Amino acid sequence: SSAASDVYKRQEKINIEIRQSLQDYERTTKRKLNLNLASSCDLLLSCLEGQIQSFVRSKFKKDLSGSWDDQWNFLKKAIFSN
């Protein structure tokens, strides 16, 4: 369907943006990611999708910002080298 196609295209665009951002990080900092690029990208995209699904399940009432700081700190340690 057209809606499914639009969702897929948006997900792919987000995936590309995340991948490019991670590549920029490696290039500008001269540091490698703790996980390979594909795994890092997949992890971040999965977390974003989970947040969106949680928000939808709550009928758009859940405050996602409350737990995001803790989750982002965990993800940063998993993905980025110190």
pTM value? 0.83
Q: Enter the DSSP assignment of 1.
A: -
Q: Is the dihedral of CA 72, 18, 46, 11 positive or negative?
A: positive
Question: What confidence tens digit (pLDDT) does each residue in 4-54 have?
Answer: 888 889 989 999 999 999 999 999 999 999 999 999 999 999 998 998 898
Q: Count CB atoms within 10 A of the CB of residue 38.
A: 10
Question: What confidence tens digit (pLDDT) does each residue in 51-71 have?
Answer: 889 889 999 998 878 888 899
